[in-house]
Amino acid sequence: MTLSTLTRPWAAISWGFLDASAKREMRRKMIKAIAVPGCQMPYASREVPMARGWGTGGLQVTLTLLRTDSVVKVIDQGADDSVNAASIRRFLSRVSAAAETWDTLEATLIQSRHRVPEERLREDQVLVLQVPNPEPLRPVQPNMSIARQMHADADYGRLWLVLYEQMVRSGRIMQGAAYPALVNGRHVMTPSPIPRWDVPKLHMARHLTFLSAGREKRLYAVPPFTRVEPLVFSDVPYKVEDHADLVCHRSGLRGVFMNEIPQDGGGSAFEASDSHLGIKAIRRAEGAATTIGPMWYEEGRFRP
């Protein structure tokens, strides 16, 4: 075997940016991540033209999944038009000729920073979540070799201790984003810093979810119809944010996750976090023909 049989003629850039070998490694790890839901799989995390910590893990998974007929949506805290989301989306379409969209219903591939869209995802859609810290045990065990052993032993008692201490100190569970959840009854994962509102959307869902941390070089997955159970005490039920009765001041949407916008007078206004859903609601109110898909939450209540 010679080097020339293993290489290809020079090209300025590979289709889908990552070289073939990088994609093969991602593919192998993504298959293993599906086979053991919620278990963190180490991977090499190649260089991409973006700083680590800005979504490089999600980007590598998305680049591996891209097809010529993909339609990509990228959101940053629910918004399609933030600089980070717009740059990633444009990069994806430039390196692969994939189509871009803001609409959850049109997308085949959704890369997201810290939100799950409010419209239900279908069985043909893949959600890629960017993860800053993939290790749910880090607050209780900073040594990652010991944390790995704790995952191997399913030794998660200290996570309940954290929740218990929050109850004792504050009278309620204070964990807001990245609420730890037990996947397939075996591995505890951090669902990335999505709000508590979004965690039930991963439980027994129709879509496939990948979670990938580029800086930490680990990825994990939640296949369709997989149990994702937030850690709770049997007498303290899991509670999502109290947003059921809030109204978006721009679109009039109700019963979706809201961004709180402080006002000069001291109060706050609320705005739908899923920005394109808000846009669709405004268009519909103006009489334009828009389709809003079925939602995870109806009238502020989660519908399984």
Partner 1 sequence: MALPHPTPDDLRDTDAFEALMWAMARPGTVRSLPEGAADLALALLDRETRVHAEDPELARRIAATGAALVTPDRADHAFCTTAAGAMAALAVLPVGSALYPDEGATLVMPAIIGAGPLLGLTGPGIEGQCRLRLGGLPEGLLDLRSARCRYPEGIDLVLVDGRRIVGLPRSVAVEVL
DSSP codes, 189-209: E---S-BGGGGGGGTT-SSEE
Contact 166, 156 (CB under 8 A): no
Q: Which is nearer to partner 1, 79 or 208 (CB)?
A: 208
Taking the C-alpha atoms of residue 74 and residue 100, their distance in angstroms, rounded to an integer, is: 9
Give the pairing type, strands 181-183 and 187-189: antiparallel
Q: Which is nearer to partner 1, 227 or 249 (CB)?
A: 227
- Site residues, partner 1 (CB under 8 A): 1, 5-6, 8, 11-17, 20-21, 23-25, 27-37, 39, 41-42, 64-68, 94-97, 148-149, 151-153, 184, 186-187, 204, 208, 221, 223-227
Q: State which amino acid sits at residue 173.
A: I
Q: Which is nearer to partner 1, 65 or 277 (CB)?
A: 65
Minimum CB distance to partner 1, residue 237 (Å): 24
Minimum CB distance to partner 1, residue 271 (Å): 35
Q: Which of 202, 154, 194, 158 is nearest to 177 (CA)?
A: 194
Q: Which is nearer to partner 1, 12 or 289 (CB)?
A: 12
Q: Which is nearer to partner 1, 120 or 280 (CB)?
A: 120
Tell me the C-alpha to C-alpha distance, in Å, between residue 288 and each of 117, 118, 254, 279: 22, 21, 20, 11
Taking the C-alpha atoms of residue 33 and residue 143, their distance in angstroms, rounded to an integer, is: 23
Minimum CB distance to partner 1, residue 16 (Å): 7
Minimum CB distance to partner 1, residue 46 (Å): 13
CB contact set of 268 (below 8 Å; sequence gap of 6+):
260, 261, 262
Minimum CB distance to partner 1, residue 188 (Å): 13
Q: Which is nearer to partner 1, 25 or 229 (CB)?
A: 25
Contact 111, 62 (CB under 8 A): yes
Minimum CB distance to partner 1, residue 217 (Å): 13
The two tokens of residue 249 are 């001041």
